[in-house]
Amino acid sequence: MRFDTLRHVCWTPIWNADHSGIGLEHVVLTTGSADSTLLAIDEDGEPFRLTYRLAWDHHGLLRRAELRTHKGAEQRRLLLRVDAGRWTDHRGEPLHGLDGCTDIDIWPTPLTNSFPIWRSALQIGERREFRMAWVAAPGLTVEARAQAYTRQEEHLFVFESLDETGFKASLAVDNDGLVVDYPGLFRRVALRR
C-alpha cells in the first residue's frame, strides 16, 4: 500500500467489556512506515501503553518492527528485523521459530490486519493462508501463528486464526484496506479530512 501523503487513523478498543471504548490508538502512515501509540485498559483492569514503529521496503515487505510497552512500573521493548522471511532480534540473533513468517500481527491493533490484505490482492471468494509473527502486548511475546483471510465482498474480509481457538472475525475495510470495524474488538474513529 502506498500513501502519497501522511494518513492519520484512529481506533477505539472495545474488547474489554468493563472498559469498552476507553482508550485510543493513533497511527500515522506514510509510504514506508507506521508510527503508533495505543492507550488501553488491559483485561486485568490495568492501563497500559503500546508504541510501535514499523518500516517496510518499496515492495511493501516488513523490514523492522520496534515495540515498547508500559504497564504499571514495568517497561518492555522488542526489536525485530526481517529479511526474506528470516527474523532476528535486537542483537541480530536469529529467531528460527519465526522463519517463513510473511508479516507481523500485533495484538492489540487492527492495523496489522491490513498487511495480508494489501499484499495478497485477493479476489472475491478467494482464501489464502499466512504464517505470521504474532506479537502480544503488553508482554511483547512473539510466536509464529497460522492465519487465513478470505475476501467475501469488495470491502469485507474474514480473518481466521488457524489455531485451537478457531477465532474468526468479519473485517469491514475502507478503500485503502484499513479496518473500519472489527466486531467486539475495535471501532474506527471518524476523522475530518
3-state secondary structure 17-70: HHHCCCEEEEEEEECCEEEEEEEEECCCCCEEEEEEEEEECCCCCEEEEEEEEE
What DSSP assignment string belongs to 130-162?
A: EEEEEEETTTTEEEEEEEEEEEEETTEEEEEE-
Confidence tier at 61 by pLDDT (50, 70, 90): confident
Q: Please tell me the predicted confidence (pLDDT) of residue 4.
A: 65
Q: Please tell me the predicted confidence (pLDDT) of residue 91.
A: 94
Q: Please tell me the predicted confidence (pLDDT) of residue 140.
A: 97
Q: Which helix (H) or strand (E) holds 182?
A: strand 179-182
Q: Which of 58, 60, 57, 55 is nearest to 80 (CA)?
A: 55
pTM given for the model: 0.93
Say if residues 51 and 68 touch (Cβ distance below 8 Å): yes
Separation CA 53–CA 35 (nearest Å): 5
Confidence tier at 192 by pLDDT (50, 70, 90): confident
- Other beta carbons within 10 angstroms of residue 49's beta carbon come to 16
Residue 44 C-alpha from the chain's centroid: 22
Once rounded to an integer, what is the mean pLDDT over residues 73-79? 97
Q: Please tell me the predicted confidence (pLDDT) of residue 63.
A: 95
What is the pLDDT of the chain when averaged over all its residues?
93
Q: Is 90 exceeded by the pLDDT of residue 82?
A: yes
